[in-house]
Amino acid sequence: MSDDANDFSNILDQSEIDKLLASAEVQTKQLIFRSDGTRIDPARAPKIEPYDFRNPVFLTEVELRRLRLLHEDFIRYLSARLSLFLRMEFSLKMAKLTTLSYAKFTEALPNPTHLCLFKAEPMLGVGILDINPRLALTVADRMLGGRGHSVKAERFLTEIEVGLLEDIINIMLEEWCGQWRLEKELHPQIIGHENNGRFLQTSPKDAIVLALTLEADFGDCAEQIQFGVPYYTIEPLVKSMQLRRAKDSNLSSEVIHKRAEWQPVYEQVKLPVRAQWDAFELSLREISSLRVGDVIEMPAQIIDKTEVLINGNRKFIGSVGLDSDRVAVKLASKINEPETRHAKPIGR
């Protein structure tokens, strides 16, 4: 009985287990080192997140967001163009845009399916366009004069159907290459067709692929279309896009913070300048009774409240006086008020 009692006394309860886990967590937080081997102060420790080296992500959230916006425009233009070509509404919607390894991308491809291998000249790498056979057969039926009803058969495409589908694939590839026109002019080229992704060897298994999944609605057929492009194919384009955006942002900031400078061309610009007084108000009857020779009394302090107008806008307050045989205004202060475009001067 004593041995059993000692065994039960050695069993930890839940509170003691929680304390041990908490102390272990604190110890792991303290064991954070820099690249040079120095320990980081736990109070200033950076945020640590897990990283999967088997599935690295080369694109940040900002870059993925920009690519998502770019591909949303591509989807909108492609949907309109396919609808015009097939003379029937072809709706497309982005389902997913992500990065994953080439092995995972090919493993996730359905079977049977129709795969088109393409290149975007002059870029390196081979892309993959995956079209569901039901959608492909429905499109081929429409191109042959059908009503676009969904084809229920699950089979591989014949050579004739593949030839018909190439017209649709060329439109898709042209639109996809066209979205990069600001970075580089690309020319799509179909290099082959496959019906099984298990035996594809167009890229290394650990190569990163940008995968775009589209949900297509055509008539009563709702299936998926997938684009898989190696990251090393679009990497130069992504870097060019980043440099262009950085350059545009720098130029815009320089324009905003650029100080006004005098330009020689300003020397020939002429603006109307006039001085006026806001003296008093008269009724219309009093104005109509004025005659030549009448004297209008004004307060003496109005001389120091002379307003100077440039192009019809009040700019300065000054004092009026005589300089030799000319009337002059000595500027005393500046008037800060928004300018009125095409303002007409009003004299009193």
Q: Is the pLDDT of residue 231 over 70?
A: yes
The three-state DSSP-derived secondary structure of 57-96 is: CCCCHHHHHHHHHHHHHHHHHHHHHHHHHHCCCEEEEEEE
∠ CA 222-145-147, nearest 5°, is 40
Decide if 192 contacts 214 (C-beta within 8 A).
no
Pairing type for strands 127-131 and 221-230 reads: antiparallel
Closest CA to 89 of 158, 147, 3, 132: 147
Residue 260 pLDDT grade (very low, low, confident, very high; cuts 50, 70, 90): low
Decide if 142 contacts 223 (C-beta within 8 A).
no
Mean pLDDT over 36-45 rounds to 74
Closest CA to 310 of 282, 335, 283: 335
Mean predicted lDDT score pLDDT of the chain: 82
Q: Give backbone dihedrals phi and psi of 312, rounded to 5 degrees, phi first.
A: 85, 0
Decide if 278 contacts 348 (C-beta within 8 A).
yes
Residue 339 pLDDT grade (very low, low, confident, very high; cuts 50, 70, 90): low
Provide the pLDDT for residue 175: 94
Q: Give backbone dihedrals phi and psi of 39, rounded to 5 degrees, phi first.
A: -80, 140
In CATH terms, 61-250 corresponds, of 3.40.190.10, 3.40.50.970, 3.40.980.10, 3.40.1550.10, to 3.40.1550.10
Closest CA to 128 of 35, 191, 60, 214: 191
Mean pLDDT over 216-233 rounds to 92
In whole angstroms, give the CA distance from residue 217 to residue 138: 11
Provide the pLDDT for residue 278: 80
Provide the pLDDT for residue 54: 57
Mean pLDDT over 141-149 rounds to 87
User: How many separate helices (H) and strands (E) can be counted in the chain?
Assistant: 8, 10
Higher pLDDT, 92 or 343: 92
Closest CA to 123 of 167, 73, 184: 184
Closest CA to 237 of 183, 187, 185: 183
Per-residue pLDDT tens for 126-143? 999 999 999 999 999 999
Q: Is the pLDDT of residue 191 over 90?
A: yes
Residue 23 pLDDT grade (very low, low, confident, very high; cuts 50, 70, 90): low
Provide the pLDDT for residue 227: 94
Per-residue pLDDT tens for 268-297? 888 888 888 887 788 888 888 888 888 888
Higher pLDDT, 96 or 343: 96
**Whole-model pTM above 0.85?**
no
Provide the pLDDT for residue 5: 47
Residue 123 pLDDT grade (very low, low, confident, very high; cuts 50, 70, 90): very high
In the chain, at which residue ranges do the beta strands (DSSP E only) sit? 90-101, 114-121, 127-131, 187-194, 208-218, 221-230, 273-276, 306-310, 313-323, 326-334
Mean pLDDT over 53-81 rounds to 81
CA dist list (Å): 127 to 173, 201, 212, 292, 333:
10, 11, 11, 92, 69
Q: Which residues lie closer than 8 Å to 228 by C-beta, 6 or more apart? A: 102, 105, 127, 128, 129, 130, 209, 210, 211, 212
Token duo for residue 193: 């067709």
Which amino acid, one-letter code, is at 316? F
Q: Give backbone dihedrals phi and psi of 216, rounded to 5 degrees, phi first.
A: -105, 130
Mean pLDDT over 58-73 rounds to 82
Provide the pLDDT for residue 268: 84
Q: Is the pLDDT of residue 252 over 70?
A: no
Mean pLDDT over 75-100 rounds to 93
Pairing type for strands 326-334 and 127-131 reads: unpaired
In CATH terms, 271-334 corresponds, of 3.40.50.10320, 3.40.190.10, 3.40.50.720, 2.30.330.10, to 2.30.330.10
Q: How far is CA 212 from the centre of its chain?
A: 17
Closest CA to 226 of 96, 120, 119, 112: 96
DSSP-based helix, strand, coil % in the chain, nearest 5: 40, 25, 35
DSSP state of 152: -
In whole angstroms, give the CA distance from residue 261 to residue 255: 12
DSSP state of 298: -
- Hey, where are the domains in the chain? 61-250, 271-334
Provide the pLDDT for residue 345: 45
